[in-house]
Amino acid sequence: MYRLIFSLVFRPMDAERAHHLSFSALRILDRIPLLGRLLRLVVARGTSAPVEVLGLPFPNRVGLAAGFDKNGVGIRALSALGFGHIEVGTITAHAQPGNERPRLFRLLRNRALLNRMGFNNDGARQASFNITAQRRALTALPARQRPIIGVNIGKTKVVPAAEAVADYVASTRELAPLADYLVINVSSPNTPGLRDLQSVASLEPIITAVKEAAAEVVATPRSTLGHVPLLVKIAPDLSDEDVVDICDLAVRTGADGLIVTNTTIDRDVLTGPEAEFARSQAGGISGRPLAPRSLEVLLLVAATVSGELTIVSVGGIGDGNDVDARLAAGADLVQVYSEMIYSGPFWPGRIIRSGGRTRLLTRGTGGA
């Protein structure tokens, strides 16, 4: 049914408009009591596989990556799809419109997306109001159905690199009290100069400042770790040497984990005419073509940190077997996004209930 709807309704439509339409429809359904309850009963059936990671009680190990809900307006509705955690953002200290449209493209033959959104969001202050409202709405659900809420923060585009630390701190002060965990995003290719902040010299003061700011504004964190867990999201295009350096930095500075990986700027992961189209466009690629490099980075990170950090794997996950593979390779949590555009709202529940569910239930609790 979803394939038919996708072909007839969404495929002819601009990708960004289709996203807003489907997301709005999901939020409306969730607000109608009987329909919202039916949605959870049918779509999220059998997705409970509780696990403790980062000192937090995750309903299961599969979550929604940042980028889908940029402003934290639909956390409760998205949880109806069975996700164990929802990562909102990327949120910047100041509201910004993002890049000019069109800025999101489907690469159908490759089961991929190309985006150059540019951190379009309403800013940290408005996001704090949105997330507060969503947390209130979640209290109406049984505890086992409430997702862990991650908040992904990035640098405001107009803020110069020299002021990046203060910009991340401003977002932290607004959002850390509402976050189960925080993510520092220095790996999007769509904000000029952002990926330069992945260098050890630039990243270390950001991690340190964000940790200190979170500790100042959150007296009673939700995590049993005793602080708001902090993760760093890295790019797949880093050299192996740079990945190892970031792992060492994360351990040294007391970060709690890494998210591997963000979108890629490597067009060689694509095949056919879509590869030529992508070479003519700016932006990062996500979806199935990212899977090989994302898995490579995961294996490298797992071998480097040896259980000292929590690892979240994202990029190219298509089914329950992929979830199995990422967990077997050392991931504590898995995140998805692009495949849901092609496979629909029933897909997250399917991969949790499929072959991946056994490992979701049996694997030990995550570290850090």
What's the pLDDT tens digit per position in 299-326? 999 999 988 999 999 999 999 999 999 9
pLDDT per residue as tens digits for the range 98-128: 999 999 999 999 999 999 999 999 999 999 9
Q: Number of structural domains, the chain?
A: 1
Does residue 366 carry a pLDDT above 90?
A: no
Domain enclosing residue 176, as ranges: 1-354
Mean pLDDT of the chain: 91
CA pair distance 227, 54, nearest whole angstrom:
10
The predicted pLDDT at position 361 comes to 46
CA pair distance 26, 79, nearest whole angstrom:
11
Do the domain assignments include residue 364? no
Do the domain assignments include residue 197? yes
Do the domain assignments include residue 85? yes
* Residue 120 Cα distances to 89, 93, 115, 252, angstroms: 9, 12, 12, 32
pLDDT per residue as tens digits for the range 19-47: 988 899 999 999 998 888 898 888 888 88
For residue 286, the domain's CATH number is 3.20.20.70
From 82-86, 189-193, 281-285, the region with the lowest mean pLDDT: 189-193
Q: Which residue, chain included where needed, has tokens 């339409």?
A: 21
Do the domain assignments include residue 363? no
Answer positive or negative: Cα dihedral of 3, 77, 283, 97: positive
Do the domain assignments include residue 79? yes
pLDDT per residue as tens digits for the range 171-190: 999 999 999 999 999 888 77
Report residue 6's pLDDT band, with 50, 70 and 90 as the boundaries: low
Q: Which residues are catalytic?
A: 188
Report residue 367's pLDDT band, with 50, 70 and 90 as the boundaries: very low
**Which of 33, 31, 27, 42 has the alpha carbon at shortest distance from 86?**
27
Do the domain assignments include residue 297? yes
Residue 257: φ, ψ to 5°: -175, 175
Do the domain assignments include residue 368? no
Do the domain assignments include residue 360? no
Is pTM beyond 0.85? Reply is yes
Helix (H, G, I), strand (E, B) or coil at 233: strand
207-243 in b/e form (b: 16+ CB < 10 A) is: bebbbebbeeebeebbbeeeebbbbbbbbbbbeeeeb
Residues making up the binding site for FMN: 66-70, 90, 152, 185, 233, 261, 287, 316, 337-338
Q: In what order do the strands lie in the sheet with 112-115?
A: 104-107, 112-115, 284-287
